Structure 1
Amino acid sequence: MPSNTNPTVRRRRLGLELRRLRESKNMTAEQVAKRLLVSQSKISRLENGRRSISPRDVRDLCGVYEIDDDRVVDSLMQMARESRQQGWWYAFKDVPYSVYIGLEDDASSLRVYEPQLITGLLQTPEYAEAVVRGGAPESTEEEVSKRVEVRIRRQGRLGEQTNPNTGEIKEAIRLWVVLDEACLRRVVGGRRVMREQMEHLAEQARLPHVTVQVLPFGVGAHAGLAGQYAILEFAELADSSVVYIEGVTSDLYLEKPHEVQKYSLMYEHLRAQSLNPEESLQRIQDAAKEYAR
């Protein structure tokens, strides 16, 4: 099994492997839970990667599944140990979307549709601060500062990164963003902040691995009316694509192939209905000039 120190992705991959082992024995999660005297929800959370898993959990599950190959058991237990390591985002406690950050940190490509705001990876610090303050008006100054810092640090994925432990180079994420024209017109933080945000957006849109398209008002009804979503894809074949939908109190992660396919098809419709990248860049630059006046 390939090495990967990202705890979120590692935990997710381990969960998928444990589910495969259970299904190979034709056992239900309820049956496994009864054997181990635990709740069925615990087994489900372990398999979907939403709960930290200990080497002891792995050992107990391997016993239920009658895995007698010590190499397989040792490999799974090592994955469990690595999955309990902490990513950089764990230093910022109470970040509401830490699971998503873990996935984004390891994704090779990201397709985003945003109907209201400039997507987080392309925000300026002042724009990000205005978004956080507006979206969570009861937040303290410390909480606002923390969320903005996390958002800006995430933007490191737009460039190459070197793993300080292994020296391995992680390529910049391939980012494709479809922005509703409302994202350009909604004044967040004031006209100066918006001018700087538009100029920054135009600069980022010129990067070879970043594509920005604007979905104009004139399109009318379109495939993105249901709201914002992101599709994450990974370099490792063992890691299936994930659709992320942000919620107010909880987030939704869709991983079933037919669900991912449906959202991917919707995204292709959005891209087709949007201005092409050159026209979109011009629309962004025009918006920057309007805010400068």
Structure 2
Amino acid sequence: MSAPTVRKRRLGSELRLLRESAGLKQEHVAARLSALTTSKISRIEKALIGVKPADLDGLLDLYGVSDEVKRRAMHSLAKDGSKKGWWQTYRDAISPEYADLLSLEADAKSMRSFQTSLIPGLLQTSAYARATIDAINMTSSAAKVNALVEVRMARQSVLTRPEPLALWAIIPEAALHTTISTPRAMKDQLQKLLDLSELPHVSIQVLPLSTEPHPGMVGSFSVIGFPETADLDVVLVEGLTSSLYVEDPVEVQRYGAAFERLQAGALPFSESADLIANLKDPT
């Protein structure tokens, strides 16, 4: 698999914006950097090919980028995409968009997730994952469902790695009332939420049934943050048959603002945990 499509597009877009801000056309750049042709610069900006570290440094120097944080961020985007991820084993079962998500999660430092009617995949038990994957995919074979469940469980390793992903999940209360498989299965799922909420890097809030209209009513989304700079964050917008990555910094900021509104409308952490515990063991 080549470098993550999303990261390639971000790199190409950033380089194009830097070139335009420097008042240069592609042919001007090619004339000053002997290692790059106009055609190659065009293909890099269109995310059709990657860029070597030395060539990237030449571009950044030419564009006047001296900030080391920005330069490291650009190199992070351009890093070798030929490395094999664990998800390569499942390439026949997962879509390119899903492979992108797995690669992004592997590099991310944070994720802010809102699901309209589901518990987020990173917080699911295998029983919950199986029931929801089977329901959403509808016509998938048992073998594919099994593979997708395995992928979802493997994804959760980002929460237990040495530098774990910081996850902030807002879960609608209605999702906690879903009946899956058996009462025991949902009880186990609720317990998993309680267990994970004890981790210092996992924050879980419940959006109560009584909440007022909010931005999340239009659909599920996740804001994925990286250890470089905020202007390289991306948003995953999920649908039934496809997913969309939002990469424009202005639009990403709007999703960040939407998440902040959801945070404000959700129950505090302690009250969220109490609600989950009461649903697990009604008194």
For residues 237 and 222 of structure 1, the distance between their equivalents in structure 2, rounded to whole angstroms, comes to: 28
Match of 2:87 among 73, 86, 89: 89
Distance 1:150 1:180, change over 3 A: same
Contact persistence 1:108–1:174 (CA under 8 A): yes
Distance 1:43 1:195, change over 3 A: same
Match of 1:242 among 224, 234, 240: 234
Distance 1:80 1:265, change over 3 A: closer
Contact persistence 2:44–2:51 (CA under 8 A): no
Cα deviations across residues 27-50 of structure 1 (Å, max 9, x unaligned)?
Answer: 48xxx9xx6399x8x66650xxxx
**Aligned amino acid, residue 82 of structure 1:** D
For residues 249 and 79 of structure 2, the distance between their equivalents in structure 1, rounded to whole angstroms, comes to: 29
For residues 75 and 266 of structure 2, the distance between their equivalents in structure 1, rounded to whole angstroms, comes to: 47
For residues 121 and 219 of structure 2, the distance between their equivalents in structure 1, rounded to whole angstroms, comes to: 16
Contact persistence 1:181–1:215 (CA under 8 A): yes
**Aligned amino acid, residue 147 of structure 1:** L
Cα deviations across residues 90-141 of structure 1 (Å, max 9, x unaligned)?
Answer: 2211412111111111111111111201100000011101111111121112
For residues 180 and 45 of structure 1, the distance between their equivalents in structure 2, rounded to whole angstroms, comes to: 39
Contact persistence 1:52–1:84 (CA under 8 A): no
The unaligned stretches of length 5 or more in structure 2 are: 31-37, 63-71
For residues 242 and 78 of structure 1, the distance between their equivalents in structure 2, rounded to whole angstroms, comes to: 14
Secondary structure of the residue that 2:203 maps to in structure 1? strand
1:229 aligns with: 221
**If the length of structure 1 is used for normalisation, what is the TM-score?**
0.75
Range with greater deviation from structure 2 (206-215 or 87-96)? 87-96
Q: Does 1:260 align with 2:252?
A: yes
Aligned length: 258
For residues 102 and 83 of structure 2, the distance between their equivalents in structure 1, rounded to whole angstroms, comes to: 15
Secondary structure of the residue that 1:270 maps to in structure 2? helix
Contact persistence 1:52–1:83 (CA under 8 A): no
Contact persistence 1:53–1:84 (CA under 8 A): no
For residues 220 and 246 of structure 1, the distance between their equivalents in structure 2, rounded to whole angstroms, comes to: 23
Contact persistence 1:7–1:86 (CA under 8 A): no
Q: Does 1:204 align with 2:207?
A: no
1:173 aligns with: 165
Contact persistence 1:10–1:83 (CA under 8 A): no
Secondary structure of the residue that 2:217 maps to in structure 1? coil
> RMSD of the alignment, in Å?
3.6
1:123 aligns with: 124
Distance 1:77 1:123, change over 3 A: closer
**Aligned amino acid, residue 92 of structure 1:** Y
1:137 aligns with: 138
Distance 1:213 1:25, change over 3 A: same
**Aligned amino acid, residue 136 of structure 1:** N
Secondary structure of the residue that 1:175 maps to in structure 2? strand
Match of 2:12 among 15, 24, 31: 15
1:102 aligns with: 103
* Cα shift at 1:206: 1.4
Distance 1:248 1:26, change over 3 A: farther
Distance 1:85 1:13, change over 3 A: farther
1:275 aligns with: 267
* Cα shift at 1:254: 1.5
For residues 11 and 78 of structure 1, the distance between their equivalents in structure 2, rounded to whole angstroms, comes to: 11
Distance 1:14 1:219, change over 3 A: closer
Secondary structure of the residue that 1:86 maps to in structure 2? coil
**Aligned amino acid, residue 86 of structure 1:** K
The unaligned stretches of length 5 or more in structure 1 are: 1-5, 68-74, 162-170
